[in-house]
Amino acid sequence: MNHPPKQAVHDCLHPAEKIREMFGDVVSRYDMLNTALSLGMDALWRNALVKQVLSTRPKNILDAASGTGEVALHLLKKAPLETSVLALDFCQPMLSAFLKKISHAQPTRHQNLSIVLGDAMRLPCKNSSFDAITVAFGLRNFPDRAMFFAEARRALKSGGHLHILEFSQPPTWAAPFYFFYLKNFLPRAAEIVSSNGSAYRYLADSIAAFPNKKELSCEMEKAGFKAVSFSSFSAGAVALHGARNP
Ligand SMILES: C[S@@+](CC[C@H](N)C(=O)[O-])C[C@H]1O[C@@H](n2cnc3c(N)ncnc32)[C@H](O)[C@@H]1O
């Protein structure tokens, strides 16, 4: 199977406003579709992220592109009591779904949680504010990764860590199956369940346009991060990147 050249795919990516609208449109079934279309593996990927984040013992964490708060809530559940989490997203409907979720949950740890409407490209915080920043399945949607990395470095304390969980390119042998699933099965399944196949066609296109694990690691090093590393899950379809702010 032939894949479109990266530039061609990039040309048809949605600008920020359309991305915000698109997430607003899928919000009602977002969590359910994540679990169904990843065959339940999304929880394992987020577990791995949370484990990696907490291994560096951060006291305050920014979860950028937090969406419905799956990562932020998981962090709060597993972290020591004094850890605080600031969840940021630029899509109000996603944050409303997050707020609705916590209004039904046990309120035990929510005093350590702040939820903020804001753009990850202009983080609403002072320099050197956080011990850790997480981005799960958000970076692919950002208009300028170099700008986000510079912003993350500004917001992180010296010695703080950036953790990125994101879809990635599988090895060559698996790519035809993977892209067939992404481009054919996934949008149709999403169309049936949520009447929103276009958001899932965007998902396939944005994954195809996204750098592979080594390319993304190089971008992080170029941005000045140290100890850049990654691990792969689900035959390389998902990657967990980590890096330290010097
Ligand atoms: C695929 S969802 C991921 C949500 C969540 N992190 C998770 O793991 O389920 C991507 C999220 O990124 C948000 N997003 C995209 N671009 C953003 C930006 N520039 N600033 C803040 N949030 C952004 C979207 O609104 C959406 O909620």
Contacts for 223 with CB less than 8 Å, ≥ 6 apart: 146, 149, 150, 153
Q: 164, 139 in Cβ contact below 8 A?
A: yes
Is the distance from the beta carbon of residue 87 to the nearest atom of ligand 1 less than 6 Å?
no
| Gap from CA of 142 to ligand 1 centroid (Å) | 9
Domains and CATH numbers, the chain: 6-244 (3.40.50.150)
Q: How confident is the model at residue 109 (pLDDT cuts 50, 70, 90)?
A: low
Please check whether residue 240 is in contact with residue 163, taking contact to mean a CB–CB distance below 8 angstroms.
Answer: yes
Please state, in angstroms and rounded to a whole number, the distance separating the CA atoms of residues 169 and 198.
21
Number of Cβ within 10 Å of residue 113's Cβ equals 19
Q: Residue 217: pLDDT above 90?
A: yes
Could you tell me if 30 and 68 are in contact, meaning their C-beta atoms sit under 8 angstroms apart?
Answer: yes
Distance 107 CA to ligand 1 centre (A): 24
Cα of 224 to ligand 1 centre, how many Å? 24
Write the pLDDT tens digit of every residue in 159-186: 999 999 999 988 888 888 888 887 877 7
Among 11-25, 69-83, 113-127, 130-144, the least confident range: 11-25
pTM for the whole structure? 0.90
The residue among 36, 18, 29, 77 whose CA lies nearest residue 53 is 77
Residues 222-236, mean pLDDT to the nearest whole number: 95
Q: Which residues contact 156 (CB under 8 A, 6 or more apart)?
A: 128, 129, 130, 131, 132, 133, 162, 245
pLDDT attached to residue 114: 95
Nearest residue (by CA) to ligand 1, atom 8, is: 136
Whether pLDDT at 93 is above 50: yes
Confidence of residue 59 (pLDDT cuts 50, 70, 90): very high
Q: 69 and 115 in contact (C-beta within 8 Å)?
A: yes
- Segment of 190-199, 202-211, 232-241 carrying the highest mean pLDDT: 232-241
pLDDT reading at 210 higher than 80 = yes
Name, of 10-19, 102-111, 160-169, the range with top average pLDDT.
160-169
Give the model's pLDDT for residue 5. Answer: 46
Strand partners, 63: 87, 134
